[in-house]
Structure 1
């Protein structure tokens, strides 16, 4: 590895020089300059779509710039790809877990590069190496256990340990603690400190300001594909950092809905606990109201919605629908009570990709499209056509598989399914993720139209900036509990984001 230094004599481990990355219809990075030095922990901050993931992909060799240069260890990476970046000492631990559930922890460590012994694969060497690397994290996870039998938190620790096994010069951690409990977070942070103390540069992607203040000396803030500034964490307050993330006028977009009158309480949650993610949550939502839930990745948003819908067992607490208590809710009971959930992972949990668009729309209430207990193709077609028209679902033929639709149209079809089923409360978990701007606007309009008909909408989004555009009220979920509440028209985006990112109390 070639040693290069900056004007202060610090060793530069990685650089992006005037890097631009364009994809069809979008510029993901625009003339970005970035460098990180040996032993430095650099936080990388920005809202969704700011360009953080694209910069990580370029530094890791997964992608190449449209223009500009990526340098690792003083040499241009060019088109050498992941192998070239890895050989120069770049290791990346992505937000999405990549372990193979059916393989052991040790086998996952050496996936595709099995150590050879006299009689084939050297299993003992794999196990010993995995155990030693895990020990660097202070972990006693058994390397002979199948990865699928580990908790989510343990799987995340294995991902980080695997990234460390080749003694990297640059370690990139993308939201490494989002699935971890507080004790495990402390363990990861201490590990990062020890790693940085050996001279390894660490890029730490997180929205959690308490972690960033504990671990990073500096933070690079990105917005709209550009690096806005790099600041000393200890010299910058959270509000100042958020202003850089949002821009000069964070509240330029007006709230779509004025202050409104609402009906009776339709959904009430009392002291709901689903360990370890949700603790003693209470709130109420009324007929005609759109309630947003803001929270960072790992705050317990999805777990809260799944528990309300009966998919996850409650440790304690009660859910009331139209005043009727459900202390032991199941998915079947809550569906009958009028609860509909559109899940975060639309493709895996929200639709059946090989079934027709029409079948997906009516599948939550086949009785309504049956005649004498037998499904009626004409009733299916008529119901699906009415809802497709109402929700502006663009499809050439509703009998085509739903996988042929765009992400936005798939999402609208999932919402339409619950309207077909007569849901009184819609729980929408990241309904605008992965859809274009036009589809987002249409989904906001659908939420408002549904609320105007007297239904209740609970809207979860990690894109905090969209919540004031659609919601009558926003609850901030942090550390598994409701911490703050904002009511339209006084939903201030800067305050909302700061409340979501605030340090633990």
Structure 2
């Protein structure tokens, strides 16, 4: 059954909606949060009843994370009010939020693998289980947590080492620890992103069972097939604003995608071009780790291929595997017709493959070093004479790169860490181009750069493609991929689920493919 059908027809034994007269477990009014140059939340309202599961949906950058951070006390809003049980509260810190009954389980688990389930659940509060002679009693700790787990009907051994549990069991421990604070509202942030398909159902059943006890749950997820199975209602955010809140049975996947995206980007897209017949990068049945399960595609000379995928889809992991930063379990890769299996980035570069990582400051640049040094880091032979570095050659190559890419810098000796985000990204591109690569892998190349810099980067990519460079771009800004790419590839749970030219698809179709169903 597809996701639209699931939304229209509740499965047998489906959860009833919360009582219409139930008092709000939590309500927020007019939440506003500003960051420099960004209005993250713009007057957001939200109200939930006890025992209700609310799916919080929206694209990357819609404001979901900011709202969650405010509710869990990690961020203070600039304006707005928060009410719990009808009383206005100030959530000045995560500790205060827990005291008020708001507990959060983040996507990245924060457990101590070498400690037991009981020790993790009461971490920092072991004395609450009882002491003997002023010392914590391990037996009392196990008994105390065992009774708590029995009350929740959780099948966990309180004595088991957390590091020996499955990912789903560790997730359950994390939830149990959150609930041990006596929560009234549980926030789950992408709880199934790292779970295998067989364990997803177990978590969804647990969430429904917790809701039946009167616990309100905010469920943040991109996986549309899960929403009708676990949620009573949905709230959609877009560009920091509340778009709609609806009962889960009243909307289809297509309607949710439309609410999340607004207008489609079909009016501004890259003109259709005749693709070259020459394949410069061929990937077949590639598998790497838990995130890249079965990926195949061909990249043609001069083509710009956009890769779309939600968090956990395997986008970044695919690039890191191709570039020699992570291992390959199976599958084959050919670059310009030759087998490619780099064990290091140096080998990938020598073969003609360049990579601009998502975290440019941590992985792409030497921030304290000069622009001239950074743009030549990947091409030492081009600036050497008899094996020795030539500063004259370095300056000549750096000057040519600055001119070609329009890098704005006071001087080539300026530390690259002082440049704007857009100019730092151009330096990374220059580093790749100076290594004379024929295929570029770009992970979020316009993240954190202003509008003007984005236009410059996209124009540069088009020029490089026209010169014959094959380019693969990963971006969370899906609308922008329509402006620069010739073809889009959609990953879902580590597998290709859609491969189409931009002229033959649209934004809702791409979003639906990325979000809908379980490709695992």
Structures share fold, TM-score greater than 0.5: yes
Q: Does 1:409 align with 2:462?
A: no
SS in 2 for 1:241: helix
Q: Return the offset for 1:41.
A: 0.8
- Does structure 2 retain, via aligned residues, the 8 Å contact 1:273–1:279? yes
Kindly report the root-mean-square deviation, in angstroms, between the aligned alpha carbons of the 2 structures. Answer: 3.1
**Within 5 Å, which residues of 2 pair with 1:218-233?**
218-233=233-248
Q: Does 1:51 align with 2:66?
A: no
**Gap runs ≥5 in structure 2:** 1-17
Which position in structure 1 is the counterpart of 2:212? 197
Q: Does 1:498 align with 2:512?
A: yes
Pick from 327, 334, 344 the counterpart of residue 320 of structure 1. 334
TM-superposition CA deviations, 1:227-286 (whole Å, max 9, x none) = 111112223110011111122x22355013442443511000112122432233211001
TM-superposition CA deviations, 1:202-241 (whole Å, max 9, x none) = 1111111011122111100111221111112223110011
Could you say if the C-alpha distance between residues 11 and 101 of structure 1 is closer, same or farther in structure 2, counting changes exceeding 3 Å?
same
Could you say if the C-alpha distance between residues 12 and 408 of structure 1 is closer, same or farther in structure 2, counting changes exceeding 3 Å?
same
Report the TM-score, using the length of structure 2 for normalisation.
Answer: 0.86
In the alignment, the residues of structure 2 paired with residue 124 and residue 88 of structure 1 have an alpha-carbon distance, to the nearest angstrom, of 30
Q: Return the offset for 1:88.
A: 0.8
- Does structure 2 retain, via aligned residues, the 8 Å contact 1:18–1:68? yes
SS in 1 for 2:463: helix
**Within 5 Å, which residues of 2 pair with 1:248-267?**
249-251=263-265, 253-262=267-276, 264-267=278-281
Q: Does 1:447 align with 2:461?
A: yes
Equivalenced residue count is 497
In the alignment, the residues of structure 2 paired with residue 123 and residue 62 of structure 1 have an alpha-carbon distance, to the nearest angstrom, of 32
Which position in structure 2 is the counterpart of 1:3? none
- Report the more deviating stretch, 323-332 or 160-169: 323-332
Q: Return the offset for 1:190.
A: 2.5
Pick from 302, 309, 313 the counterpart of residue 323 of structure 2. 309
Which position in structure 1 is the counterpart of 2:256? 241
Q: Return the offset for 1:496.
A: 0.9
Q: Does 1:164 align with 2:179?
A: yes
Q: Return the offset for 1:164.
A: 3.1
Report the TM-score, using the length of structure 1 for normalisation.
Answer: 0.88
Pick from 90, 95, 98 the counterpart of residue 83 of structure 1. 95
**Within 5 Å, which residues of 2 pair with 1:24-423?**
24-78=36-90, 80-96=92-108, 115=127, 117=131, 118=133, 138=155, 144=161, 159-247=174-262, 249-251=263-265, 253-262=267-276, 264-326=278-340, 330-423=344-437
Q: Return the offset for 1:324.
A: 0.9
Q: Does 1:22 align with 2:34?
A: yes
SS in 1 for 2:234: strand
In the alignment, the residues of structure 1 paired with residue 377 and residue 159 of structure 2 have an alpha-carbon distance, to the nearest angstrom, of 43
Q: Does 1:428 align with 2:442?
A: yes
Q: Return the offset for 1:34.
A: 0.7
In the alignment, the residues of structure 2 paired with residue 485 and residue 51 of structure 1 have an alpha-carbon distance, to the nearest angstrom, of 29
TM-superposition CA deviations, 1:368-412 (whole Å, max 9, x none) = 222221222333333233223322333324434333233333222
In the alignment, the residues of structure 1 paired with residue 354 and residue 155 of structure 2 have an alpha-carbon distance, to the nearest angstrom, of 42
In the alignment, the residues of structure 2 paired with residue 399 and residue 285 of structure 1 have an alpha-carbon distance, to the nearest angstrom, of 37
SS in 2 for 1:466: helix
Q: Return the offset for 1:441.
A: 2.3
**Gap runs ≥5 in structure 1:** 1-5
In the alignment, the residues of structure 2 paired with residue 302 and residue 153 of structure 1 have an alpha-carbon distance, to the nearest angstrom, of 23
